[in-house]
Amino acid sequence: MTEERLAVVTGGMGGLGETISTKMADAGYKVVVTYSPSNTKWKQWLEDMRGRGYAFAAFPVDVTDYDDCAAKCERIHKECGPISILVNNAGITRDMTFKKMTKTDWDAVMRTNLDSCFNMTKQVMDGMIERGWGRVINVSSVNGQKGAFGQTNYSAAKAGIHGFTKALALEVAKKGVTVNTISPGYIGTKMVTAIPKEILDSKILPQIPIGRLGKPDEVAGLIIYLCSEEAAFVTGANISINGGQHMY
């Protein structure tokens, strides 16, 4: 049945988002990716993906803007079909100490990382309930669980995501719709692997009992499981995938 189900991955052109999108396509889902309207490289990304055998549909969506989310989700529905799976993956950082953090820095992260979950999920939930089947997976972070120096905005937004997950999961549990959070630790995306090796070796890897960065494929595999029929009894959960960095 997966070939009949449409998945939307927000931030689907980013490091982790790209792997989520490709692995979901490999698993038989029809995948639509959204990208920031400020992304000037989207055409090249789609061309690169076509070269790898992935014919994704892609839509520019400002996930901080409710009206834009509504308009684009309606367009996706008309052009691609009903949305059965939503992966709220879009996110940004504006890291600095609280002393230096401005209201603009706070608002940017809260709107992109937390408000986006409402803005996108609101557009698809009624349809999922009407069809009696749906999956919402919200991508949080280990730092939403344990906090992180210089990330009061990011940690607050990522912690808020799971509160959103739990409350919504209760409301739709009997409707065939599950809502879950995943909380990755340090994953070997381009952004993380660009960190100088001495910093990785001395500051980051010692925090991870497994002794390595997570693989994007591992995160994508967890999402694919949560989309499956076998995961129908999992809802309102926050699944950590952090190599033992934080056990909660």
Angle at alpha carbon of residue 21, lines to 20 and 23, rounded to 5°? 65
Angle between helices 152-172 and 116-131 (to 10 degrees): 20
**Catalytic one of 29, 154, 186, 225:** 154
The verdict on whether 154 is a catalytic residue reads yes
Q: Do 227 and 24 meet the contact criterion of CB atoms below 8 Å apart?
A: yes
State phi, psi for 27 to the nearest 5 degrees.
-80, 0
- Residue 59 CA to its chain's centroid (Å): 16
Burial 189-214 (b: 16+ CB within 10 A, else e): beebeeeeeeebeeeeeeebeeeebb
Which are the contacts of 129, defined by CB distance < 8 A and separation ≥ 6?
Answer: 172, 175, 176, 177
Q: Mind telling me the catalytic residues? A: 154
